[in-house]
Amino acid sequence: MISAGDFRNGLTIEMDNNIFQIIEFQHVKPGKGAAFVRTKLRNIKNGGVVERTFRPTEKYPQAHIERSDMQFLYSDGELYHFMNIENFEQIGMTDDAVGDSLKFVKENEMVKMLSHAGNVFAIEPPLFVDLVITDTEPGFKGDTAQGATKPAVVETGATVYVPLFVEQGDKIQIDTRSGEYMKRV
């Protein structure tokens, strides 16, 4: 059990038959009255975000999230197939369960599967990926007044905004959390 006074960012708790991850927390000590903890919580199963206040003495069980390395094998249109590299066990996930988490991940790359009580609820791609640009318009000289960008399609089919000097066939690094161009590789 963990008390609300010990909340930290990233901590997962079980509350109201759901699993919540603490996104933000703030200890508040008003001039009058008792102190409280103001939090922003993400429901891990459905992704919804709620704000809630707690008394510092309230206690909740800590949810243990298992992270396992899996290899993304392929997508056959209906399911995304993953393999555990230790025991070669394969699992398939639907498009709804995967969401946008694989838009920068190529086949045969490693991802982290997050599960609670055996139920996979999220996929974490690598923080940075290197992808080749398959389609982009050429940049025009003199079009660089304020760090201009242009859309580019990478080999996974996702669109990223890149600087004008980046051309088709270039390999770039992308931050998967924000979908932003980082640098040419």
Quickly state the pLDDT bin for 75 (edges 50, 70, 90): confident
**Pairing mode, if any, of strands 36-43 and 49-54?**
antiparallel
Residue-wise pLDDT for 5-62, tens only, equals 888 888 888 888 888 888 889 998 888 888 899 999 988 877 788 999 998 888 999 8
CA distances from 183 to 6, 79, 105 (A): 39, 32, 17
- Long-range CB pairs of 91-94, under 8 A, 24+ apart, other chains included: 91/120, 93/120, 93/123
Residue-wise pLDDT for 99-136, tens only, equals 778 888 888 889 988 888 777 777 888 889 999 999 88
The domains found in the chain, sorted by start residue, are 2-60 (2.30.30.30), 66-124 (2.40.50.140), 128-184 (2.40.50.140)
**59: Cβ contacts below 8 Å, ≥ 6 apart:** 1, 2, 3, 4
- pTM assigned to the model: 0.68
Q: Residue count of the chain, please give it.
A: 185
What one-character DSSP code corresponds to residue 4?
Answer: G
CA distances from 137 to 140, 149, 151, 166, 179 (A): 9, 11, 8, 9, 19
Residue-wise pLDDT for 157-171, tens only, equals 889 998 888 888 899
